[in-house]
């Protein structure tokens, strides 16, 4: 596994290209589809799917351009459809950019396993930041893509449509912190971390009630 991070867009979103050396997954592609396509060309990898952790504008900005150019299927959580499709909910209608409406081709259930680009990936439903957000767990590689749920020494906001402080704390403490300590965490913004580090240092425990 090789993980390439590009920090894109107005709020510095981590867009990930995850590759086995031939095929690649595009995770939370923000804003610049032409840049992402060129990045894949330089890496000499073939994108096979787009994986979305949630539907906020800063995580879906390049999806439609990539779908049109590369004919890629889009994966997301089954309860996130309303956020993906409605610009008033996903925030794109409020920030002075073209309103975004994205259609997911595959809506994933909690615990559902998928096989893409040579990887086995588990979808973990993690409501709290949004109602239908999911994280992607690559068990064999000890990698978690956490979106805007879990950050290094921090966690996602809950004051946007579908957010819930209680649900977020439950998702992190009772789901993500159940993963092995050595699991490397790649969030939607900021630096990477590990489950073990966050279990010891993350302030989410103070917000569980």
Q: How confident is the model at residue 209 (pLDDT cuts 50, 70, 90)?
A: low
The mean pLDDT value for 57-61 works out to 95
Paired tokens of 22: 């031939």
- Does pTM top 0.85 for this prediction? yes
For residues 172 and 144, the answer to whether their CB atoms sit within 8 Å is: no
Question: Pairing between strand 184-187 and 193-194?
Answer: antiparallel
In angstroms, what CA-CA distances link 114 with 39, 111, 186?
Answer: 25, 10, 19
The chain-wide mean pLDDT, for the chain, equals 95
Distance from chain centroid for Cα 186: 9
Paired tokens of 24: 């690649």
E strand map for the chain: 2-8, 13-19, 23-27, 46-51, 74-77, 106-108, 113-116, 119-125, 134-138, 143-147, 150-151, 154-155, 184-187, 193-194
pLDDT in tens, 33-53: 999 999 999 999 999 999 999
pLDDT in tens, 191-201: 999 999 999 99
The mean pLDDT value for 62-69 works out to 96
């Amino acid at each position: 596994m090789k993980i390439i991070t590009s920090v894109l867009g107005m709020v510095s979103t981590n867009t990930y290209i995850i590759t086995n050396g031939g095929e690649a997954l595009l995770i939370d592609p923000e804003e610049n589809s032409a840049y992402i396509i060129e990045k894949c060309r330089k890496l000499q990898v073939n994108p096979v799917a787009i994986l979305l952790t949630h539907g906020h504008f800063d995580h879906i900005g390049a999806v439609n351009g990539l779908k049109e150019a590369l004919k890629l299927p889009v994966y997301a959580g089954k309860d996130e459809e309303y956020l993906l499709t409605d610009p008033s909910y996903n925030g794109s209608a409020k920030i002075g950019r073209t309103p975004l409406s994205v259609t997911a081709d595959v809506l994933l259930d909690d615990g559902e396993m998928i096989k893409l680009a040579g990887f086995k990936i588990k979808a973990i439903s993690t409501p709290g930041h949004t109602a239908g957000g999911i994280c992607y767990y690559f068990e064999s590689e000890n990698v978690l893509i956490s979106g805007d749920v879990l950050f290094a020494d921090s966690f996602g906001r809950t004051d946007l449509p579908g957010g819930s402080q209680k649900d977020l704390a439950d998702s992190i403490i009772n789901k993500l912190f159940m993963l092995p300590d050595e699991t490397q965490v790649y969030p939607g913004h900021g630096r990477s971390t590990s489950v073990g580090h966050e279990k010891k240092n993350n302030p989410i425990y103070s917000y569980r009630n």
